[in-house]
Structure 1
Amino acid sequence: MNDDAFEAVMTSIDAPLVVVTTAAEGERAGCLVGFHAQSSIDSAHYCVWLSKANHTYRMALRATHFAVHFLTEDDLELAEIFGTQCSAETDKFANLAVDTDETGVPLLDACPNRIVLERIAALDDGGDHVCMTTRVVSAHSGGRFTPLRVSDAEDLEPGHPAEARAVRP
């Protein structure tokens, strides 16, 4: 395979960024995610791929629900908080306005465009990310927006390199 060609195609797509939050056993976590997509229309399903290097991934294995917060072009600061720090070492929510839904999932007040999800399955195909397949429980919209994209955040240094992924959580 030509790695350069694959990277060129993926860079051209310039995916929107989201923040995924979750909670389990009284602990909460969240991370910046670039791999996510609607995966069914009826019933509404959504897939989120979480890096095995992230603390949020390890929390997600114990969690039943998630929130996907769609970032706008004005949310680079949130992308930095959730993309450059580790939830195991830092409370990313400490200085943010956060609500909690009935399932315990943290909801970022600054992100009115979000969906709340219930985990259906997890697929680990051996790559550095795991796919969480979910059912959409609720959706909230603050209206049309311009998404923050991968290219907008290219200067952010990830909290964990891909090589730091856990082989066994």
Structure 2
Amino acid sequence: MRKILIINAVLILFGFTIQQAEFTDKVYKKLDKTISKLWPEKEVHRKAMQINDKELGFQVSPNSLFKLMDADNHLVGYAYLDKANSKSAKIDYVVFFDKNLKIIYTQVLIYREEYGGEIGSNRWLKQFYGKYNGTGMEFQKDIQNISGATISSRNITNAIKKLSQRIVILQQKGLLK
């Protein structure tokens, strides 16, 4: 009986990890469209980064972290795709960082709830711009709540804060080459 419980727990955790890493073609198309919108004056392309450091304390899902390069292959910044929990579904979102790892843009790519879609508004997401390493991202202190979307706004705030801390850790460990 104990073996069955352990096996089920491992399968659930493994399944959750796989689910977290998966993004649809629709998400990548929206990502590319956003890149074009952010840099209309020059050609910027994304290059997937594969991070396989076992000592990080966290996992970077395949095809979720990208270097953003111009036509001359100069670094423009980074894009980091992730999923956050909403009330009963997942939110696909992206955070764009400049070369110094300050947040320059955030976008909700797919929101699956019936209510609370306001978290995808530029007006609300602008609160994250210029933030670095999770500083100034305390929910209901630095980042305002959205009435009727408290769970989603809290969870995406915490998720963006975590991503901004993680990308700094990746830089400190020399993994953003």
Short-chain TM bin: under 0.3
TM-score, with length taken from structure 2: 0.23
Point out which structure has higher relative CO (alpha carbons under 8 A, 6+ apart). 1
Kindly indicate which of the two structures has a greater share of residues assigned to strand.
1
Kindly indicate which of the two structures has a greater share of residues assigned to helix.
2
